[in-house]
Structure 1
């Protein structure tokens, strides 16, 4: 037993510890928001979610389990409890596995490097031995700082930079007392091979490698469908995001989708798409200059009409499974961000952005909501949790049900 009281200590938007009970309750809360299953009783489709423990990957996992009744495998990379608590994703995965078992879903979670072929071999073995040697769906949701190429051993590092010239933008920070400040930050442009390195990490290379690896072992079912989760975002953040190094990687991801779609259609009658999701507070997004300010202002404009990640991924699963028509734009992308990019919404956010200062931001953005969402990423600010009570931190990684 290793019980202790866990306080929310942070450096900016990064918290040093996570709260196991808060993470568990957050997962339970997400599950409850998913509408009832649309599939018949019995074995659901077999799915692989790569990046299953956080952000939109976690939402895809929970929505798939609760809405579609998927069974299969989730892959993520999380740190076990030790001197500090485990990562929030460690505790969220344990909670997701518990709920899956309670609802009769056979879901196995693997912790390790999704970029490596050893993980691909492990997944292939499980698909063969446990899930009948077939895979119906693959959701790809990976945000990582670096990737090791399995063929060459080269290590690539992603960069968060504009392309062509420095970019100055407003950004939101909180001082030591928690007071909001709107500051200007300037980011130097990409240089050298920053773009190529970022594409190698965040583009479609590993997604395509997964598909090829599994196809070569005849593990893709007839009609196999895969989706990679992506983001376009607002013109207000375009210079650092969609038009920057990360945007180059997203463009590569979309080009990969078109290549894979043609290949899967011919070989299996299948599909490959990118799903363009809408803004959300995630551990990845809070690291991007300007995104925190933009998201807080967006919430201030749309309020409760903001669609949560699990709400968006429920819509995606409905489209992928045929419960709703698959709605694609002219680039062949599923668009879950139409509410965010509505011109009236963007005009209202842009007006607030232009007048946002440290003095005015509290009236322009929903900072209470934003602060709670950041804390909830680590299991804090979750209703029903007694944060003054000791909690067990030594939560084991979920073993597969027998």
Structure 2
């Protein structure tokens, strides 16, 4: 594929192409936003980030590299450039690897199915051979539509559905001209084994399998710590999220954390936690009915006081490494969402939600910010990038060089 002008073409919130230059600039901005970066080279703690190319997993990778000086492995599942450009995560990974190399961080990125035992074997071999057989941290941040069980070959599919009865909610959409509209959408309830299927994909089963796989190879260091990234969210979105099929999966993830924490504490003096992150515009969250409207209204209330994913993951790394005290709730979860769920904030968002219509939405929500954030997920609407200039989409997957 030769150089060409890459224009944003979308179906709703899903873009068909990604811009390499825009994705690279966004990764640069995320790295620069990390406060007090360390200056160490290749001798930081060894970390594995599963789901390292997007959303909070990307933030965990960049914050870990810049703030802590981690070395190790990032695992993700992205499409290479072909007839269309590569996925945004492909380009973000290339950009992250470039910065890691510049800062002398020994970080290897693997592209493939994190649910498979083949990927677990590849990671285990790398830890044993490249990182002296010692893993200090594992961050688990996987959002996927399907998972194949390595033991049975069964394929499970996750769904976004309420439990018990249909749910109607307001949601934010943009028409063909880009104008925002508030519409109602009704989602049918979970049926058959929808809940079990979603739990099988998005619950804690694969996270626990990773820990067991690496423990069986004696690759977990004394004091090993692991965190799975989660979300609770507002009562406004609870029916479709925390009380829906995904919420059942998150509850399973949290139960898994308690089991793993007891096990790791006994065997290694280690720890397992879930980290409850706050709302953000991600490729996964834009698929959830009502989330677009909620996040736009939240931004309308808080403006720049919203804590970015990078800001939240810096806090997570500080707590995991002991730079700041571990702050757990009664369920043993790290809470990075307290600013979002502050009662005053939620009351203000709820008031705006109740009065939001297509006529009032631009007064109540920061729709321009939200629209730009969605485009930025794919490398568009990035200041400093000239989108009229041809770009090279054929960026290779990064190879380790340190």
Cα 1:39–1:223 change in 2 (3 A) is farther
Distance 1:146 1:209 in 2: 16
Which residue of structure 2 lines up, in the alignment, with residue 373 of structure 1? Answer: 373
Secondary structure of the equivalent of 1:258? Answer: helix
- Within-5 A mapping of 1:301-316: 301-316=301-316
Secondary structure of the equivalent of 2:363? Answer: helix
Secondary structure of the equivalent of 1:329? Answer: coil
Cα 1:38–1:329 change in 2 (3 A) is farther
Task: Report the alpha carbon displacement of residue 253 of structure 1 after superposing the two structures with TM.
Answer: 0.1
Secondary structure of the equivalent of 2:181? Answer: strand
Distance 1:64 1:311 in 2: 12
Which residue of structure 1 lines up, in the alignment, with residue 133 of structure 2? Answer: 133
Secondary structure of the equivalent of 2:198? Answer: helix
List per-residue Cα deviations over 1:98-123 (Å, max 9, x = no partner). 00000000000000000000000000
* RMSD over equivalenced CA pairs, Å: 0.8
Task: Report the alpha carbon displacement of residue 2 of structure 1 after superposing the two structures with TM.
Answer: 1.5
Mapped pair 1:233 → 2:233? yes
Secondary structure of the equivalent of 1:110? Answer: strand
Mapped pair 1:206 → 2:214? no
List per-residue Cα deviations over 1:284-310 (Å, max 9, x = no partner). 000000000000000000111000001
Task: Report the alpha carbon displacement of residue 7 of structure 1 after superposing the two structures with TM.
Answer: 0.5
Task: Report the alpha carbon displacement of residue 36 of structure 1 after superposing the two structures with TM.
Answer: 2.0
Distance 2:191 2:307 in 1: 37
Mapped pair 1:271 → 2:271? yes
Distance 1:37 1:267 in 2: 32
Moved more, 33-42 or 148-157: 33-42
Which residue of structure 2 lines up, in the alignment, with residue 49 of structure 1? Answer: 49
Task: Report the alpha carbon displacement of residue 37 of structure 1 after superposing the two structures with TM.
Answer: 2.8
Distance 2:195 2:298 in 1: 29
Contact 1:65 1:105 in 2 (8 A): yes
Secondary structure of the equivalent of 1:198? Answer: helix
Distance 2:295 2:23 in 1: 22
Mapped pair 1:382 → 2:385? no
Contact 1:38 1:323 in 2 (8 A): no
- Within-5 A mapping of 1:311-326: 311-326=311-326
Secondary structure of the equivalent of 2:274? Answer: strand
Secondary structure of the equivalent of 2:83? Answer: coil
Distance 1:350 1:2 in 2: 49
Distance 2:341 2:38 in 1: 29
List per-residue Cα deviations over 1:307-357 (Å, max 9, x = no partner). 000110000000000000010000000000000000000000000000000
Contact 1:170 1:182 in 2 (8 A): yes
Distance 2:379 2:99 in 1: 17
Q: TM-score, normalised by structure 2?
A: 0.99
Contact 1:139 1:228 in 2 (8 A): yes
Which residue of structure 2 lines up, in the alignment, with residue 358 of structure 1? Answer: 358
Which residue of structure 2 lines up, in the alignment, with residue 157 of structure 1? Answer: 157
Distance 1:307 1:383 in 2: 20
Cα 1:323–1:38 change in 2 (3 A) is farther
Q: Which runs of 5+ in 2 are unaligned?
A: none
Secondary structure of the equivalent of 1:391? Answer: coil
Distance 2:392 2:245 in 1: 41
Which residue of structure 2 lines up, in the alignment, with residue 248 of structure 1? Answer: 248
Secondary structure of the equivalent of 2:162? Answer: coil
Contact 2:38 2:66 in 1 (8 A): no
